[in-house]
Amino acid sequence: MNFLHLSEEVRRAKEENRPVVALESTIVAHGMPYPDNLNTAREVEAIIRDHGAVPATIAILDGKIRVGLAEDELRFLAKHDGVEKVSRRDLPHVIATGKPGATTVAATMICARMAGIDVFVTGGIGGVHRQAEKTMDISADLQELARTDVAVVCAGAKSVLDIGLTLEYLETLGVPVIGVGTEEFPAFYCRSSGYPVDVRLDTPEEIARVIHTKWELGLQGGLVIANPIPEADALEEETMERIIADALREAEAAGISGKRVTPFLLDRIKTLTGGDSLRANIALVKHNARVGAQIARALHPLRHGRS
């Protein structure tokens, strides 16, 4: 049975040998409140089109992996409360039962690879959670980066994580971490984390050559393309660290665990920052879309011949 369904726009782009950029749907269903989630999804898709690529937002609907969503499907994800959060382990169950599902970084990578899409734009990757030495809470995103050939353009890892341990884990898994015009790994809302990237590259063409070379060498797995939030939109590091610590204490006191942790923390941080974190989140996703489309355009002729 073929579980993959390409939208007409994505199917046509593949036939015409044009670059396609994957987008996750968890940010629509679980990452932002309505209508910010729907408006941001539309704007991000428009940015990718404006920069010469075709957007492919990925979700699970009616037992199919939808690669590219129609307006009514985006709206459904943005407004419906019963959408499952889908990672690698959840894909078989959600598809088999026909439940609606929003794909995380890990699941979006899997589906993008099935569809032959090389570049995926998101907000921030998951990683090693704080106090993981007690909870063993490590995002499936990291293992997926080690096994699935998709380049992930992000604003680093989410600030609520233990970024140092996340980078150590990526190093162990052999996942390259490339800084876009920076030698420091960004921390989602903030431009720096205090930790270095593996290599700094300044142009889409340089980044595309490294991505292509990795896969031509037969080295399995993805790459983290760490693109800092624009300086004008970044939040202050010390303030954010204090707010995150408060939100983490609240989550622990409320017994929040597992896949519920990140949505809870993001919502509390939005409240504690008076909405500044949501505005920063929207800004960084749009910036990642611009950079991701540029990389996809540079990578496409290397991977698929001239379009």
Q: Provide the annotated active-site residues.
A: 24, 158
Cα–Cα distances (Å) from 65 to 2, 186, 237, 303, in that order, read: 9, 31, 38, 24
Is residue 185 within 8 A of residue 228, CB to CB? The reply is: no
Residue 68 to residue 112: CA distance in whole angstroms: 11
Q: Please state the residue numbers annotated as binding site for Mn(2+).
A: 137
Residue 254 to residue 34: CA distance in whole angstroms: 25
The contacts of residue 270 (CB under 8 Å, 6+ apart) are 33, 277, 278
- The b-or-e profile of 231-260 (16+ CB within 10 A means b, else e) is eebbbebeebeebbeebbeebeeeebeebe
Q: Please state the residue numbers annotated as binding site for substrate.
A: 85, 105, 139-141
35 cis-preceded (ω within 30 degrees of 0): yes
Q: Which amino acid is at 97?
A: T
- Residue 273 has a CB neighbour count (10 Å cut-off) of 17
Nearest alpha carbon to residue 75 among 45, 106, 42: 42
| Two tokens, residue 87 | 């990672």
Q: Please state the residue numbers annotated as binding site.
A: 85, 105, 137, 139-141
